């Protein structure tokens, strides 16, 4: 276990920043906690939707959004604990096969927000095997920022659902807190898509 911690893991902030840099048109949904901080730290965008709760819901929000906006790439950036809580949503994505949805899981093998308790991915769960088993054939893992450009191209291509597990270091970078005002981020997001208030 100690070997994995120092070898073959990437800095989360660096990875997310480089990944998002390659997908300026993507609609981004974040899971709660550190994934939201990473996306916000990479640069706030009107087309970022940050969660502060609804644990287990990020991938399903991404699915609803992807179905509603088939011409835009949609990427969900979340953590291992968050995807595990709603893991059936990968089955729902696998059943539906949205062309424009990618789920990126920043996996530090721990529940980072609550005291770094080990999660299932430190204790035997293989998320790529889970995603493939749910029918997301294009599922892979990485531990290098060198893969960011290729992942971004895959997101932008909208050629079927994809799943990426990113092995990240189990550290806690300085907090970068996105807005937690739900109506504000909703209205901002919808306005960026040209949608009017009801």
Partner 1 sequence: MVPKNSPAPAWQEAIFQVLKRGGIKQVAYVPDAGHSHAIRRVIADPEIDDVVLTTEEEGVALACGAWLGGQRAAVLMQSSGVGNCVNMFSLLQAADVPFFTIVTMRGEYAEFNPWQGPMGKATQAALELMGIHVLRVSSPAEVEEIVSAGLDAAFEAGERVAVLLGQNLIGRKKWERG
Among 15, 37, 40, 49, binds partner 1 (CB under 8 A): 49
Question: Which 8-state DSSP code applies to residue 134?
Answer: T
What beta strand segments (E) does the chain contain? 27-30, 48-50, 74-79, 101-107, 110-111, 117-118, 138-142, 162-167
Q: Does residue 3 belong to the site contacting partner 1 (CB under 8 A)?
A: no
CB atoms within 10 A of CB 71: 7
Q: How far is the CB of 130 from partner 1 (least distance, A)?
A: 13
Q: How far is the CB of 94 from partner 1 (least distance, A)?
A: 10
Q: How far is the CB of 144 from partner 1 (least distance, A)?
A: 30
Q: Does residue 86 belong to the site contacting partner 1 (CB under 8 A)?
A: yes
What beta strand segments (E) does 23-100 contain? 27-30, 48-50, 74-79
Q: How far is the CB of 136 from partner 1 (least distance, A)?
A: 14
Q: Tokens 């932008």 correspond to what residue?
A: 156
Q: Whole-angstrom Cα distance, residue 85 to residue 176?
A: 24
Q: Does residue 24 belong to the site contacting partner 1 (CB under 8 A)?
A: no
Binding map of partner 1 across residues 105-144, x = CB under 8 A, - = no contact = ----------------------------------------
β-bridge pairing 117-118 and 110-111: antiparallel
Q: How far is the CB of 196 from partner 1 (least distance, A)?
A: 9
**Window 58-77: residues binding partner 1 (CB under 8 A):** 58-69
Structure tokens at 74: 């949609």
For partner 1 (CB under 8 A), the number of binding residues is 37
Q: Whole-angstrom Cα distance, residue 94 to residue 88?
A: 10
Taking a C-beta distance cutoff of 8 angstroms, is the pair 66, 96 a contact? no
With contacts defined by CB under 8 A, name the span among 54-62, 106-114, 137-145, 150-158 that binds partner 1. 54-62
Taking a C-beta distance cutoff of 8 angstroms, is the pair 58, 29 a contact? yes
Which residues are at the interface with partner 1 (CB under 8 A)? 27, 29, 49, 51-69, 86, 88-89, 91-92, 95-96, 182-183, 186, 189-190, 193, 195, 198
């Amino acid at each position: 276990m100690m070997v994995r911690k120092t070898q073959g893991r990437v800095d989360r902030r660096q990875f997310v920043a480089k990944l998002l840099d390659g997908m300026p048109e993507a609609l981004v949904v974040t899971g709660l906690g550190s994934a939201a901080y990473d996306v916000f730290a990479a640069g706030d965008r009107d087309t970022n939707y940050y969660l502060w709760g609804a644990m287990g819901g990020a991938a399903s929000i991404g699915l609803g959004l992807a179905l509603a906006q088939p011409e835009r790439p949609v990427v969900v950036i979340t953590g291992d604990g968050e995807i595990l809580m709603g893991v059936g949503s990968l089955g729902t994505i696998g059943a539906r096969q949205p062309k424009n949805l990618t789920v990126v899981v920043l996996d530090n093998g721990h529940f980072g927000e609550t005291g770094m308790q080990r999660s299932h991915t430190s204790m035997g769960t293989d998320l790529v095997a889970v995603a493939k088993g749910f029918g997301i054939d294009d599922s892979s893992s990485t531990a290098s920022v060198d893969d960011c450009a290729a992942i971004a191209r895959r997101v932008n291509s909208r050629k079927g659902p994809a799943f990426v597990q990113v092995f990240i270091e189990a550290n806690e970078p300085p907090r970068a807190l996105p807005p937690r005002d739900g109506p504000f981020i909703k209205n901002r997001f919808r306005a960026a898509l040209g949608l009017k208030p009801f």
